A and B are shown apart, each in its own frame.
Chain A
Amino acid sequence: MKVRNAICYFARTMLAALREIFDEAAYTRFLNRTGMLSSGEAYAAFRREFEEGKARRPKCC
């Protein structure tokens, strides 16, 4: 049981990390914050807002 819980926790954390790295979590937060439903328009609005901040973040060498 302990092993199964540990595996579940690991998988959940990995998925959460991937969702954060790939901005899926940021999109979900955007939908919650704006009250919009997921759609092409909502995603375009998210990208517009997101690009403004993300474009200023350096990426390492």
Chain B
Amino acid sequence: MNKTLRILCWVLIGGLGAVAVGAIALHRGEPINALWLVAAATCCYALGYRFYSRFIATKILALDGLRATPAERMENGRDFLVTNKWVVFGHHFAAIAGPGPLVGPVLAAQCGYLPGTLWVLAGAVFAGCVQDFVILLFSVRRDGKSLTEMAKDEVGVIGGFVAYVAVIAILIILLGVAALIVVNALKASPWGTFTIAMTMPIALLMGVYLRRIRPGKVLEVSALGFVLVMVAIWGGQYVSQNAALAQVFTFSAPTLAILIMVYGFAASALPVWLLLAPRDYLSTFVKLGTIALLGIGIVALHPTLNMPALTRFVDGTGPVFAGKIFPFAFITIACGAISGFHALISSGTTPKLIARETETRMVGYGAMMAESAVAVMAIIAASVMQPGVYFAINSPAGIVGQAPVTAAATISSWGFPVTTAQMQALAHAVGEQTLYNRTGGAPAFAVGMAHIFSHTLGGETLMALWYHFAIMFEALFILTILDAGTRVARFMVQDALGHLYRPLGRTSWYPSILATSALIVAAWGYFLWQGVKDPLGGINSLWPLFGISNQLLATVALCVATTIIVKMHRAKYASVTLVPLAWLVAVTFTASWHKMFDPNPRVGFLAQARVLAAAPGPMTSATARVIFNNRLDAAVTGILVVMVTLVLVESARQWRGILSGAREARIKESPFVRTRLAEERG
């Protein structure tokens, strides 16, 4: 393509993007088509990738295709392995894509589709993709070192320690919140619970197939497992219609919470790969397939968004989460815009597979764009519902009332009409007794996804099957994260305890395995239990806590990245990481302040504790527990903020020292070795 045509092409993409973003931002009063969001996202990603990531790659990072990567220099056929860039891209995307980009945008839709969409697009292009890209490249240049190791080497011992503690903290809070989402999705739902229960024998069958019948044929057995899960979903309707069977699979939230904790402990402490490994594969298979299907469904159906661009809840009085649009919308959506957790993946397996430095742009920046696209799909899924239905599903009983009539009247009084008959019909269509008070985002996403799928494939008659497919997809996904996360946290704690008493660090020593597994499960189980018992549904307190800790980890990652850029004598370009860092500091510190000290008891932990403590009459043990939990949440938030402040101060001292010439800019990269691959490839 000649130069003029190329320029014309990019001008057209820019123009279309501007029109699409303008249409989303300025359209008021009437519903808009989802294709506007698709067009805006596609153009923003194309422009961001072509121009911004290229600018970072050439001007700041100076990617060098002749420099051998650790995959080449340290190739061992196991961790370090030269791999095709598209394969690494797929691998990296499969590792970073979790329930976060699906749940966060659904919750944030209470403010309307506009704030979430703008944050997902701008956040990804200017912050999330940049973070993933630079951390990946810096890890590649340091033999695949982890974020905590890089923080220790480049920022200082405090940086390393804080990164380590932040990772453990975020894991524990994440696991507690993720488990709560599953509990809220499966409580009083025999169909959903039966389907998830059936994944256990299916996984065992897959394990036997892999071990005895066709060793190593994972793709084949995953496809077989997928077919069996679909049969289980289909069979679930008969379970829910049979009174005796339905009773067996109907659990209350506390019972489900206990079952999930037992599962988490067993998965971490017992050698159960026969169950876990196949389920992990099945989960990945379903995840990739569903995301692809949802994308196709949205483009094929191009539904109308019934949610307004902005709702009245931008003022902070929303039922899904309390707090104003700034900062709370920006911590509610983490993974679709920027997620600190991605920095762990970008400095984990992926840098050990990269064949050439130049490929980090596509893998790091590109995979995060794909993740952001998943978040846009989640916004669309949440926004296709009538707003009244969305709020009926996502509002806790503590706000809208337990009785359907009261809930419908309260939600209608907000200006989002919904009737009990409408909700009853929807619950019936998806095969549930009720859809009220299903907080957590997963059921709302499932309803939206079922709506899109049923209009594309199978019609209204398959609505219930699609709904339970979506619930199964999310629950399976989250349970895999629960067992993997508990094991990762267990290993991290064992590594630390090994410094105090050597046998505790041995990952095969059973007393240590049992003790550390119990410790980790107790930690996230505590948050789960707190959420289950919370009269406001739990998500209102726990999701912001998760968002804050995840974004604080991103703050640490951006501190590390900025320090390295300054040390590389590229300080004049440091704004590419410094601006997102400043934004995240503003967002997370403001959100933390509100969560701790806001006088509104729906927002501030301490205010809620004060209100409960001042209530007239004798204090019940349940009230005392809620008061303690609120104070604990405030303390956790405060500790995280103090730790990240220490990293910021330590980083700023480094930058000032280097820029003033008082400190030597010494970066700890591995030495340059010329690649052999360039000659081999010509």
Contacts and interface: CB of A to CB of B under 8 A. Distances in A.
A43 to B, nearest CB: 4
Given A39-B215, A44-B211, A53-B79, A58 B344 contact: yes
A33 B171 contact: no
B215 A40 contact: yes
A21 B92 CA distance: 9
Interface in A6-61: 13, 16-24, 26-30, 32-33, 38-40, 42-44, 46-47, 49, 51-53, 55-61
A59 to B, nearest CB: 5
A31 to B, nearest CB: 8
A13 B215 contact: no
A52 B472 CA distance: 28
B91 A55 contact: no
Contacts of A42: 215
* Overall SS of chain B's interface: helix
B349 interface: yes
Contact of A38 (B89, B215, B480, B546): B215
Given A53-B79, A56-B488, A47 B90 contact: no
B216 A59 contact: no
Contacts of A47: 273, 277
Contacts of B222: 22
Contacts of B407: none
B487 interface: yes
Contacts of A52: 507
B81 interface: yes
Given A57-B484, A58-B484, A60-B97, 8 more contacts: A17-B89, A20-B91, A27-B216, A29-B81, A40-B215, A43-B210, A47-B273, A60-B344
Given A53-B78, A57-B348, A58-B488, A18 B219 contact: yes
Contacts of B115: none
Contacts of B171: 58
A38 to B, nearest CB: 5
Given A20-B87, A40-B211, A61 B491 contact: no
Nearest to B177: A61
Given A21-B284, A40-B211, A59 B90 contact: no
Interface residues of B, number: 57
Given A58-B171, A60-B95, A43 B488 contact: no
Nearest to A61: B100
Given A18-B90, A29-B81, A33-B77, A59 B95 contact: yes
Contacts of B348: 57-58
18 contacts: A13-B86, A20-B83, A22-B219, A22-B285, A28-B216, A29-B77, A38-B215, A40-B215, A43-B210, A43-B211, A44-B211, A58-B167, A58-B348, A59-B98, A60-B100, A61-B98, A61-B100, A61-B341
Interface residues of A, number: 36
A43 B566 CA distance: 48
Given A46-B216, A61-B481, A21 B78 contact: no
Contacts of A20: 83, 87-88, 90-91
B216 A38 contact: yes
The CB with the most chain B CB atoms within 10 A, among A22, A28, A33, is that of A22
A36 to B, nearest CB: 10
Given A58-B484, A61-B100, A24 B219 contact: yes
A57 B606 CA distance: 36
* Overall SS of chain A's interface: helix
Contacts of A21: 90-91, 94, 284, 288
Contacts, number: 121
B174 A61 contact: yes
B157 to A, nearest CB: 22
Interface in B254-304: 273, 277, 281, 284-285, 288
A32 B491 CA distance: 29
A17 B488 contact: no
Contacts of A29: 77-78, 81
B440 interface: no
A16 B171 CA distance: 31
B203 to A, nearest CB: 14
Contacts of B78: 26, 29, 33, 49, 53
Contacts of A46: 216
A60 B345 contact: yes
B139 to A, nearest CB: 14
B550 A61 contact: yes
A42 B211 CA distance: 9
B219 A43 contact: no
B99 A61 contact: yes
The CB with the most chain A CB atoms within 10 A, among B78, B178, B288, is that of B78
A13 B87 contact: yes
Contact of A40 (B81, B212, B335): B212
Given A24-B217, A40-B215, A42-B215, A59 B342 contact: no
Contacts of A23: 218, 281
Contacts of A17: 84, 86-87, 89-91
Nearest to B477: A59
A20 B85 CA distance: 12
Contacts of A53: 78-79
Interface in B538-580: 546, 550
The list of the 9 closest CB pairs from A to B, nearest first, reads A17-B90, A43-B215, A61-B100, A27-B216, A22-B218, A60-B96, A17-B87, A61-B98, A60-B98
B353 to A, nearest CB: 8
B98 A56 contact: no
A46 B94 CA distance: 21
Nearest to B213: A40
B495 to A, nearest CB: 9
Contacts of A33: 77-78
Interface string B65-91: 000000000000111010110111111
Contacts of B339: 60-61
Interface in B134-179: 167, 171, 174, 178
A39 B217 CA distance: 11
Contact of B488 (A26, A28, A38, A57): A57
B178 A61 contact: yes
Interface string B42-60: 0000000000000000000
A61 B281 CA distance: 17
A40 B488 CA distance: 27
Contacts of B215: 27, 38-40, 42-43
B485 interface: yes
Nearest to A10: B86
Contacts of B219: 18-19, 22, 24
Contacts of A18: 90, 219
